[in-house]
């Protein structure tokens, strides 16, 4: 068995006798995030994972469309984002309940990301870090 297959199996990729592979979303996200590292290229990362560069590019497109969630990147310095607080329009029912149901909105340039009101704070931080990594 080649080193690439051992590496992939250690990540949880299922490799069938026919040569087909089933890629977990976490592994796809790892490969995509590796392309954003300094001096990394799509070709080099694709070679490491034993795939064609166009497959990795397709995964990158999935990530840009929000179909693939990338892991948060480690940052040395704190990352701050402005917080904008606005009035919530009262809907039928309890105004306190309406305030808790308001989605979280992240604005990054022309991109607006709306998240469920009950999303964990850690997940919001991961998304903000991913956006910051993409803008560098």
Q: Are residues 57 and 33 in the same domain?
A: yes
Q: Which candidate, 61, 73, 74, 68, places its Cα nearest to that of 28?
A: 68
% of the chain beyond a pLDDT of 70:
76
Band of pLDDT at residue 92, cut at 50, 70 and 90: low
Rounded CA-CA distance 65/3 in Å is 32
Q: State which of 18, 46, 64 marks the end of a domain.
A: 64
Number of H helices, E strands in the chain: 6, 4
* Residue-number span of the structural domain to which 94 is assigned: 72-136
Q: Are residues 94 and 77 in the same domain?
A: yes
Structure confidence at residue 128 (pLDDT): 81
- Count of domains observed in the chain: 2
Q: Are residues 58 and 95 in the same domain?
A: no
Q: Are residues 83 and 134 in the same domain?
A: yes
Q: Are 49 and 8 in contact (CB under 8 A)?
A: yes
Q: State which of 25, 45, 64 marks the end of a domain.
A: 64
Res 11 pLDDT > 70: yes
Higher pLDDT: 55 or 4? It is 55
Six token digits for residue 24 = 């977990």
Structure confidence at residue 43 (pLDDT): 96
Res 72 pLDDT > 80: no
């Amino acid at each position: 068995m080649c080193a690439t297959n051992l590496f992939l199996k250690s990540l949880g990729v299922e490799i069938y006798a026919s040569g087909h592979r089933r890629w977990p979303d976490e592994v796809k996200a790892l490969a995509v995030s590796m392309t954003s590292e300094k001096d990394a290229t799509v070709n080099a990362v694709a070679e490491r994972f034993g795939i064609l560069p166009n497959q990795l590019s397709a995964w990158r497109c999935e990530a840009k469309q929000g179909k693939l969630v990338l892991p948060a990147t480690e940052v040395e310095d704190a990352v701050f984002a402005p917080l904008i607080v606005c009035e919530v329009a009262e809907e039928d029912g309890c105004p306190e309940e309406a305030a808790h149901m308001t989605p979280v909105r992240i604005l990054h340039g022309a991109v607006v990301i709306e998240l469920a009101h009950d999303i964990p704070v850690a997940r919001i931080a991961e998304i903000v870090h991913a956006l910051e990594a993409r803008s560098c």
